[in-house]
Amino acid sequence: MTASEPRIHAPRPVRGNSSASSRHDMRRRIFTHTHRLRLERAADHYLRDCYRRVTAARASELATTLGVTAPYLSRIAPDILGMPLRDFLRQKQIEYSVQLLKTTPLTSKEIALRCGFGTVSTFHRWFRSAFDTTPGAFRKVMK
């Protein structure tokens, strides 16, 4: 290329006319299976800590534990996990609650607290949305 020839640049999005999502798509990072495994492992450790401390699990607290901001983690989690971080954490909590319902005589209140739901009503709401039944009715069917 000579000095007089113009350089050819890749087209840039027009500012003001493009949506935030299309600008975001141009900068989207590619995540690997290793990223997924690491985030799953970190979430599992975080949830076990919540179960041990008997505290509610929060995506923002997980982000702080990982040393990133909550908006950043919430933005990249769907690309890594295939679902929003909040839903991923709830799914893990529901799985643990099912295990406790099947294997222990604990009450719904005790299970709600041990699984990091914070309150019994939150536990019942999420459990019903997952299984279309209450934890008590689920336990009766499983015995």
Domain ranges of the chain: 32-142
Q: What is the pLDDT of residue 65?
A: 94
Q: What is the pLDDT of residues 79-120, one digit of tens each?
A: 999 999 999 999 999 999 999 999 999 999 999 999 999 899
- The answer to whether 73 and 85 have CB atoms below 8 angstroms apart is yes
Q: What is the pLDDT of residue 2?
A: 52
User: With 90 as the cut, is the pLDDT of residue 143 above it?
Assistant: no
CA–CA distance, 45 with 62 (Å, rounded to integer)? 10
Percentage of the chain exceeding pLDDT 90: 76
User: With 80 as the cut, is the pLDDT of residue 24 above it?
Assistant: no
Listed as own residue / partner, the contacts of 84-92 with beta carbons closer than 8 Å and 24 or more positions apart are: 85/43, 85/59, 86/59, 88/43, 89/43, 89/47, 89/57, 89/59, 89/62, 90/126, 91/130, 92/43, 92/44, 92/47
Q: What is the pLDDT of residues 31-49, one digit of tens each?
A: 999 999 999 999 999 999 9
Q: What residues contact residue 133 under an 8 Å CB cut-off, 6+ apart?
A: 127, 141
Q: What is the pLDDT of residue 27?
A: 66
Q: What is the pLDDT of residue 25?
A: 54
28: phi then psi, degrees, rounded to nearest 5: -60, 130
Q: pLDDT-derived band of residue 26, with 50, 70 and 90 as boundaries?
A: low
Burial of 106: CB neighbours in 10 Å, binned 0-12, 13-18, 19+? middle
User: With 50 as the cut, is the pLDDT of residue 7 above it?
Assistant: no
Q: pLDDT-derived band of residue 30, with 50, 70 and 90 as boundaries?
A: confident
Length of the chain: 143
Question: What's this model's pTM, rounded to 2 decimal places?
Answer: 0.76
Provide the CATH number for the domain formed by 32-142 in this structure: 1.10.10.60
Mean local confidence (pLDDT), 4-25? 48
CA–CA distance, 111 with 97 (Å, rounded to integer)? 6
